[in-house]
Structure 1
Amino acid sequence: MIEVIVNAKSIEATLVQMQNFLGGEISERWGEHTLSFDNDVGKGCIRCITFDWGVGLVEIDALFFDDILFLYQVANSNPIHFSYCSQGYFKHRFANEPNFHTIEQYHSSIFVSKKLLDVYTLLPKDTHIIINDIHVLRTEFLKKRNNQFSELNENLYKVFSDDKDESEFAYYSPIHLRMEDYVKTLRDLNAEGMTRILQIEGEVYHLLSMHIARHEKYQNRDVVPNSLLKEELKSIRKQAKKIIDDPSLNYNLEQISKDSGLSQAKLQEGFKFLYARTVTEYVRHIRLEAARDLMNTSDLNISQIVYTIGFTSRSYFSKIFKEKYDMTPHEFRKKIVVIDE
């Protein structure tokens, strides 16, 4: 086991400390710092970026050849960590706990230590690990405008408002497959320069809100349905991606049930849990989003767009489009033209 001691005050300085144990080279581009390594310890990269509103992002995408134990030595201040595991698993515990908590693939966690209470994170050997970790410095974050902390549930309100770091907090979420779609979007960004930084910042803010929303569901006892297994939820997510990739196909509950091997009841339950919509509602939602994108990016007329995305009735399309976006397709098109001019 390799023990990596971390006690730096900034994320960038933390990356330098990690380099002392893991080796590799650090590069910087557009405000992103990346530690890349390929040696006897492991291969992969750790990248980080910080924003001026007290939030930073660290992503680990690596395969280690020995267990890696990160020891975070906490002094008088410690950020709140919002973590998500896309690949593999990792373990976490406070120094005053005897056992580790395991954060499995597609699971998230929220934790923060109190002053002088160290934190351990264990990354297992011979396992491809992809972790997304958002750090929130409370003293900086509290200065940001429009942070309505009173709207948080009682537990999270105490966590955010504890600017003296007097207590530790940990929440380990059940499976959260929907978040993986947004984490993957963040990983796959290919923009450059200022555009890239702004896109990353927007996605980080979105992910942070998803972490908080999931904890709200936990507080309200809205948990994963007991009747749905992890593999079944992954299968449902796969079917949802098919609909996104080609919304024009003639989707129906019976065919999706046959393709997935899941009962219609489980499909409905899974779609409601992951996307807050029935299967039919989800298909309609994706088609309307696709139609809106085509109006923005193509020269197709309304009738062509209607049939391209799988609708058979233009009047029905116009009706549900207005219900969703509070304007007709023609009004939306005219608005785009005015903006372009």
Structure 2
Amino acid sequence: MNEIYVKSLPLKDVISNLADAFDTTYQNKCNEYRLNIPSKYGEGYIRGINFLGGFGLIEYNCSFNEILKIHFSVNKVHPLKFIYCSKGSVKHRFEEADSLHSIDQFQNVIVASTAQNGHILLFPKNSPIHLNSLEISRKEFKSKIDCDLNHVDSNLRKLFRDLNAKDLFFYHGNYSLTMSDCIDSIKKTKLSGFTRRLFLEGKSNEILSIQIADYEDDKKIEPKRQILRKSELAQIQNAVQILKLELAKPLTIKELAYRVGSNPTKLQEGFRYTFGLTVNNYLNKIRLEYAREQIIIGELNISEIANNIGIANKSYFSRLFKATYQLNPKEFSLEIAKNVMQ
């Protein structure tokens, strides 16, 4: 196992310390510092950038040949860390505690150590990791939060105002689809120079804004939670399979949400995110696709097809079909027969 000790702020020092530990150099482009992992230690990169007001972002997109333990330490109040794992799994430990916290794919933590104590991140061997960490220097960041914090959750309000790090803070959650999109955009951006710096600063602020909403939603009792998490997308795929298998007797949105362990609001959000459609619009889409396919096969009559997709009203079925395919089912069937004869 490799073990490295680095400073926590500014992020230039983090990258510089890591470069020394890896016996390599780092690049500086518009005050964004990037370290490419030497092949004898692994592959990928680590990069960090500081913004005004004690705000910074560090990104790990790498894999190591051996287990790597990074100790983050300072000789003053340690920064707040908002950590997001979009690939792989890492472990976190407070310097003053023994317990390890796993941060798995699509999970995040908010961590704040006490006083001058730091943090430890443990990276596994031969496992690709993508991690973003928002770093906030408490006293410098104070100027950004001097506005009204009364509408922010009381625990977060207390965290931001704990300038002398009196209290240990730990939160572990699953981040939202909105957060996932924001993190992906950071990884994928092709911007450079000044525009890249502006983009990264904007996205870092957006991450913090989304995190506050995610945290507050997590505090609610499950049936009242409305924000769909990235890790819950499997529930949407389960719902899709149920709709496809039970076309003849489709469930209500409430029943479907219950079957997959979700709630109607999150189910609708997941369908809109995945397909750009509401649950009912998606249901009608797969109904009509089935109907079209069966008319082409020609083994069932129109009434049988309508019954198989749970639509007893033939007029309604005909209107739905024509709105999508410009012909009603009978006209479509005749058109298919005509093409076969030709």
Q: CA RMSD in A?
A: 3.5
Taking the aligned partners of 2:104 and 2:234, their CA distance within structure 1 comes to 14
Query: Per-residue deviation at 1:147?
Result: 3.8
1:97 to partner: Cα distance: 2.2
* Matched residue SS, 2:108: strand
> Against the structure 1 CA distance between its residues 147 and 54, is the aligned structure 2 distance closer, same or farther, given a 3 Å change threshold?
farther
CA drift of 1:150 comes to 2.2
Aligned equivalent of 2:276? 283
Paired residues of 2:78 and 2:118 also in contact (CA < 8 A): no
Give the distance between the partners of 2:79 and 2:39, measured in 1 at CA: 31
The answer to whether structure 1 residue 220 and structure 2 residue 220 are counterparts is yes
Tell me: CA distance 1:116–1:146, structure 2 relative to 1, closer, same or farther (3 Å). Answer: closer
Contact 1:217 1:223 survives alignment (8 Å)? no
Aligned pairs for 1:152-163 within 5 A = 152-163=152-163
Query: 1:79 aligned to 2:79?
Result: yes
Deviations 1:20-71 (A, max 9, x none): 2223331111221101123221111001111112210000000101111111
Match of 1:140 in 2: 140
Secondary structure class of the residue paired with 1:194: helix
Amino acid at match of 1:199: F
Q: Distance in 2 between matches of 1:136 and 1:166?
A: 16
Q: Does 1:273 align with 2:259?
A: no
> In structure 2, the residue corresponding to 1:148 is in which secondary structure?
coil
| Matched ranges for 1:238-317 at <5 A | 257-258=243-244, 265-266=256-257, 269=262, 272-273=265-266, 276=269, 279=272, 283=276
| Greater gyration radius | 2
Distance 2:229 2:58 in 1: 30
Change (3 A) 1:101 1:13: same
5 Å-filtered alignment, 1:1-341, equals: 1-7=1-7, 9-144=9-144, 147-174=147-174, 176-222=176-222, 233-234=233-234, 236=236, 257-258=243-244, 265-266=256-257, 269=262, 272-273=265-266, 276=269, 279=272, 283=276
Return the alpha-carbon distance in structure 2 between the equivalents of residues 164 and 84 of structure 1.
25
**TM-score between both structures, scaled by the size of structure 2:** 0.69
Q: Secondary structure at the match of 1:208?
A: helix
Per-residue Cα deviation, 1:215-270 (whole angstroms, up to 9, x for no partner): 11222234898xx998762474x89xxxxxxxxxxxxx9799439xxx87147947
Residues 119 and 224 of structure 1: is their aligned pair in 2 closer, same or farther, counting only changes over 3 Å? farther
* Structure 2 counterpart of 1:212, one-letter code: I
Tell me the secondary structure at the aligned position of residue 207 of structure 1: helix
Contact 1:63 1:129 (C-alpha < 8 Å) held by counterparts: yes
Amino acid at match of 2:217: K
CA distance in 2, matches of 1:15, 1:37: 11
Gaps of 5+ in 2: 246-250, 279-322, 325-342
Letter matched to residue 51 of structure 2: F
Is the Cα–Cα contact under 8 Å of residues 27 and 34 in structure 1 kept in the other structure?
Answer: yes
- How many equivalent residue pairs? 270
Distance, in Å, in 2 between the alignment partners of 1:109 and 1:212 is: 12
Q: Structure 1's 229 and 131: CA in aligned 2 closer, same or farther, altered over 3 A?
A: closer
1:182-234 deviation digits (Å, cap 9, x = unpaired) = 10111111122222211111111111111121111222234898xx9987624
Query: Which deviates the most, 67-76 or 155-164?
Result: 67-76
In structure 1, stretches of 5+ residues that fail to align are 240-252, 286-311, 314-341
SS in 2 for 1:152: coil
Contact (CA 8 Å) 1:275, 1:282: kept in 2 or not? Answer: no
